[in-house]
Amino acid sequence: MVGKSGQITGVSGPARQELVDKIKSYVEVTKPRSVFLLVFTALATMIVALPPQPLSLLHWTKAVLAIILACSGVNAVSCYVDRDIDAVMERTRHRPIPSGRIAPPYKALYWGLLQFALALALAAWINWLAFTCILLGMLGYVGVYSLWLKRRSSWNIILGGFSGGLPVLFGWAAVRGEISWLAVLLALLVVFWIPNHIWNLAIFFREDYRRVGVPMLPVVCAVRRTLFFILLTVVAMLVLSLAVYRVGGMGPVYYWTALISGLAVLAGNLYLYFNCDNKSAWWLYKLSSPYLFLLFLALIIDKWVR
């Protein structure tokens, strides 16, 4: 049991620490930072999609729990699928499965499937469209990306990345019971954000990916050419962010955030294109998540202001 101090009582010190470490490992295998960002895009979309009549606390609770469990469950399953290459790559060899902190590995698989089953049940309780978005997210990330394309094609991020837009579509569907053009634009914005995020990481760790035979774009073609494709996706991302402003009737808070942050990301990737080096690629990877967070935060603030 848990005492007033917040510590687990009734077990010895070493056993208590072992339990805490085990809990941390099962949280870590879900990639909580990734979960936070995807859940935030869904939450922001739900706020933008709010109808005039308020939603019940139960409805909000079901939707938020469903998307949290779906994202964390999918990540745990993908970690199980990638356990062999994670054990070889320098970047991932300390993760819970390859490091042996979750053993045998099938425990992570069951952990992920349990969370995903609960997410499906909650989504079905909301409406059939929310259920479909959750299901397609699992099939897209684990089925299309992890099991099919990741080790076979340099198109893995492009085609597998469509699952990254499903939390946004889920958020809209959970509130409205339908999918609007604004929701589609927001989802595509996330989809086109993914190559900038992942390919810059892959540039920094391209020897890691080459060692395990994963054909990320920087592994199978020249870095400069990869950077050209990144620029194309960044331009598309900027255009989509401004299209959201037009189609959604957003206010100045969102407009200036989208324009200034989008131009900053574009400028950073232009600099990298003409001065390709691993350190700059790493920093652009690190800055890509705050960009997406800031953009969706601006959606929330803009909704409140208006």
Please, which pLDDT band fits residue 150 given cuts at 50, 70 and 90?
very high
Residue extents of the structural domains in the chain? 12-177, 180-306
Say what the pLDDT of residue 9 is: 58
pTM higher than 0.75: yes
Please, which pLDDT band fits residue 286 given cuts at 50, 70 and 90?
very high
Contacts of 108 (CB under 8 A, 6+ apart): 26, 29, 76, 77, 79, 80, 83, 96, 97, 102
- Report the residue count for the chain: 306
Say what the pLDDT of residue 2 is: 52
Please, which pLDDT band fits residue 8 given cuts at 50, 70 and 90?
low
Please, which pLDDT band fits residue 159 given cuts at 50, 70 and 90?
confident
Helix axes 128-138, 106-126, angle to 10 degrees: 160
> Where does residue 56 rank: exposed (0-12), middle (13-18), buried (19+ CB within 10 A)?
exposed
Lowest mean pLDDT among 7-21, 27-41, 200-214, 281-295: 7-21
Q: What's the half-sphere exposure (Cβ side, CA atoms, 13 Å) at 237?
A: 28
Q: State yes or no: pLDDT of 13 exceeds 90.
A: no
Whether the CB-CB separation of 197 and 182 falls below 8 Å is answered with no
Fold designation for 180-306: Four Helix Bundle (Hemerythrin (Met), subunit A) (1.20.120)
Percent of the chain with pLDDT over 90: 90
Say what the pLDDT of residue 31 is: 97
Mean pLDDT of 183-198: 97
Mean pLDDT of 149-168: 93
User: Class assignment of domain 12-177?
Assistant: mainly alpha
